[in-house]
Amino acid sequence: MGSWEWFVSAFRQRSGMDLSAYKRPQMERRIQSFMAGVGAADFPQLVRMVEADRELYRRFVDHLTINVSEFFRNPQHWEVLRERVIPMLLARRRPLQVWSAGCSTGEEPYSLALLMREYFPGACERILATDIDAEALERAAAGRYRERVLEQVPRAMLERYFQRDGAGLRVNDSIRSMVRFQRHDLVRDPPPPAMDLILCRNVVIYFTESAREHVYRGFVRALRPGGVLFVGSTEQVFQAAELGLEHLDTFFYRAVGAGPLPHGGCSAG
């Protein structure tokens, strides 16, 4: 029926995704549930099925990569970003260089683009948004969303930056032009350099410990001294100091080498 190792190798050749970087028990459970849903008896049959059906392949990659998000997810954390973190970064330099890593279908980088356009005009000219899933990136670039993922967007922003598009809404061109989508594998590809702010939220939680550390070290290399890493509400950077990071606020870490933190640090209170 094909071993797990056989499937990882076969799928890597087909998609470029290295499933060995992910936690095996979680990934196996996810794959088995997909196989049961599509009637695949074993790994070789699943590989044949996704090779023969592009739409099934897209559904399978979505199932593996958890492409579920929403605009301004965990809004209290976005408040800290707007009220404390971005002003701190802008006190050092502008325009800011920003990377949304593991951006899925674009909700996160577009949220950041909305925030920057509304509160810090001219402070960030372009946001780099990357993901391993090329299909998700295509959907992100199109900028079309169901209203259920836009519930946290203030009404004034919805009226100013979105247009009705069939059953949903579409991000307007002024916001879409601020985001550049690009395929990137966090585990295998080198990180882009000289970033002031990196957002990577609810992505590395699915990685193995060694892959997670590798990714965080890449983020540290990518950040300018004093740059900030914004992680997800289910994540924490253990041994941050060993990686070259200092705790700035809940879910925010600063690359060392930029002098003392602001008085009292950053607080969500």
Span 137-189, pLDDT tens digits: 999 999 999 998 999 999 999 999 999 998 899 999 999 999 999 999 999 99
**Where exactly does CATH 3.40.50.150 map onto the chain?**
75-255
Model-level pTM? 0.76
Distance between CA 237 and CA 245 in Å, rounded?
9
User: Contact, 96 vs 146, CB < 8 A?
Assistant: no
CATH 3.40.50.150 fits 75-255, yes or no: yes
User: Contact, 249 vs 80, CB < 8 A?
Assistant: yes
Given pLDDT bands bounded at 50, 70 and 90, which one contains residue 31?
A: confident
Q: Which residue intervals of 144-197 are DSSP H helices?
A: 155-161, 173-176
pLDDT score of 265: 37
| H-run or E-run covering 129 | strand 127-131
Distance between CA 176 and CA 180 in Å, rounded?
8
Q: Residue 266 pLDDT more than 60?
A: no
Q: Which residues are designated catalytic?
A: 30, 131
Distance between CA 54 and CA 50 in Å, rounded?
7
